[in-house]
Amino acid sequence: MVGSGGRCHAIVDALSRSPQVGKIYCAPGNAGIAEQAECVKIGVEDVEALVAFAKSEAIDLTVIGPEASLAVGVVNAFKESGLKAFGPTKEAAQIESSKEFAKRLMAKYDIPTAGYEAFSDYEQAWAYVKARPLPAVIKYDGLAAGKGVVVAESYEEAEAALRDMLLGESFGSGRVVVEDFLDGPEFSFMCVVSGEKVYPLAMAQDHKRAYDGDKGPNTGGMGAYSPVPFVTDKVREFALERIMRPTAKAMVAEGVPFVGVLYGGLILTQQGPKVIEFNARFGDPETEVVLPRLRSDIYALFEAAIEGADCATEWSEEALLGVVLASKGYPGGYAKGAVIEGLDGVESKVYHMGTARNADGEVLTAGGRVLMVVGRGATLAKAKQMAERDCARIKCDGLFHRSDIGHKVLN
Ligand code: AMP
Ligand code: GLY
């Protein structure tokens, strides 16, 4: 397993339930993953070291978690070395790494999404935005870990975002995509894809904003739950047949067949689901509430996808709801190294997102998003009760969390 976040922990956890899996290594992992896998100190973008390690340990299959690894071509390098890796090539991963690639693909293959224009010139972008209604949706074209998107409610905010992305220093020399604003509830539809074959996973909903009431800046995601009651069978069918399958086919037709997890970030508009974004990997924190519901063997699924074989999946009816404990200040600057206590006294599954262990064996905060506390139950309300109770049991001065995860479906 390549990666270190909560999604990675959830994948390791799912793999460890497979009867086919003996030993799991994780590069680089974190304090929680270390309880279920042997962590090795290799960076997620260190292509040569990852290939060398997989060869020397005769690894049967490697799962590539982070977008950064995909974008630098870890899967390409594994393939060239005759190693099995689950994830898209660098070329196929463009569906996430380049907003413009994704937008052009959707336009060409008539996949429902918001209309857009792309710009590299600040003056042109600003002239376009100020002549249009608010809110303005402005996206940096490149990998920005979910933070390169501004939904501006005022022209001042829109102008500042354009300046930041096209003239500022905090992003690379970039382009921006300006999109039509779509209105409706969002959901995440992840599918394992192998060329034209699509194996759908259970639905989830993320919570992108930092604070309760969907206020504050966009983050990587502050909580999630699965299943998603407003995604009816009809909506799911539409999303599968009009969005996910056609996109998999389109990638094949474009000569960049996709193998891995295609993540559809969808919004349920009055006209049905439309694409907000595609990711080329498992979502984080969605994976932490989806994979524990998988009853069938995830290793078999990964292998089937790599080989292009059929594979049925089986899901539990159980509801899962997870709350992210993040470092105070996230998604802006934050301190690391705060001691976390109480992890042993919880009933929920706790996935580690950004943690480390010190010489005394204490678990410390080591990232923006630190832990994901996942409750379960017969209903989402019960799952939420468990997660909230356990969030209160975990003691750490440096953390905060949202208390309204699931608000769209629980009130
Ligand atoms: P993204 O990183 O593209 O998923 O965007 C982050 C968040 O911005 C999304 O989860 C939405 O809440 C919001 N967003 C992005 N694009 C749109 C759009 N076209 N219309 C409305 N909201 C959007
Ligand atoms: N939770 C959104 C993402 O993984 O990009």
In this structure, the number of other CB atoms found within 10 A of the CB of residue 356 comes to: 17
Domain membership flag for residue 103: no
Mean pLDDT of 88-108: 93
Residue 354 buriedness (CB in 10 A; 0-12 / 13-18 / 19+): buried
Domain membership flag for residue 338: yes
State if residue 208 touches ligand 1 by the CB under 6 angstroms criterion.
Answer: yes
Domain membership flag for residue 36: yes
Domain membership flag for residue 222: yes
Q: Is the pLDDT of residue 281 over 60?
A: yes
Instruction: Give phi and psi for 13, each to the nearest 5.
Output: -60, -45
State if residue 207 touches ligand 1 by the CB under 6 angstroms criterion.
Answer: no
Domain membership flag for residue 106: no
Is the bond into 112 cis (omega within 30 degrees of 0)? Answer: no
386: domain CATH number is 3.90.600.10
174: domain CATH number is 3.30.1490.20
Q: What is the distance between the alpha carbons of residues 279 and 275, in angstroms, rounded to a whole number? A: 11
Which domain-ending residue is among 94, 123, 149?
94
Q: What is the pLDDT of residues 56-93, one digit of tens each?
A: 999 999 999 999 999 999 999 999 999 999 999 999 99
Nearest ligand atom owner, CA of 263: 2
Residues 331 and 406 in one domain: yes
Residues 292 and 261 in one domain: yes
pLDDT score recorded for residue 217: 87
Residues 135 and 63 in one domain: no
Can you give the pTM of this predicted structure?
Answer: 0.93
pLDDT score recorded for residue 144: 57
State how many domains the chain has.
4
Which domain-ending residue is among 65, 94, 123?
94
Q: What is the distance between the alpha carbons of residues 50 and 80, in angstroms, rounded to a whole number? A: 13
Domain membership flag for residue 99: no
Domain around 139:
115-179
Pocket probe for ligand 2: among 70, 95, 99, 206, the residue whose CB has the most ligand atoms within 8 Å is 206
Work out the angle at residue 230's Cα, subtended by the Cα atoms of residues 224 and 233, and round it to the nearest 5 degrees.
Answer: 115
213: domain CATH number is 3.30.470.20
State if residue 146 touches ligand 1 by the CB under 6 angstroms criterion.
Answer: yes
Residues 201 and 141 in one domain: no
Residues 301 and 332 in one domain: no
Are the beta carbons of 321 and 380 closer than 8 angstroms?
Answer: yes
pLDDT score recorded for residue 109: 98
Q: What is the pLDDT of residues 208-255, one digit of tens each?
A: 999 999 999 889 999 999 999 999 999 999 999 999 999 999 999 999
Residues 150 and 248 in one domain: no
Cβ-Cβ contacts under 8 Å for 253 (sequence gap 6 or more)? 109
State if residue 137 touches ligand 1 by the CB under 6 angstroms criterion.
Answer: yes
Work out the angle at residue 238's Cα, subtended by the Cα atoms of residues 236 and 244, and round it to the nearest 5 degrees.
Answer: 85
Distance from residue 98's CA to the centre of ligand 1 (Å): 15
Domain membership flag for residue 104: no
Nearest CA owner, ligand 1 atom 19: 181
Q: What is the distance between the alpha carbons of residues 148 and 145, in angstroms, rounded to a whole number? A: 7
CA dihedral sign of residues 84, 87, 90, 92: positive
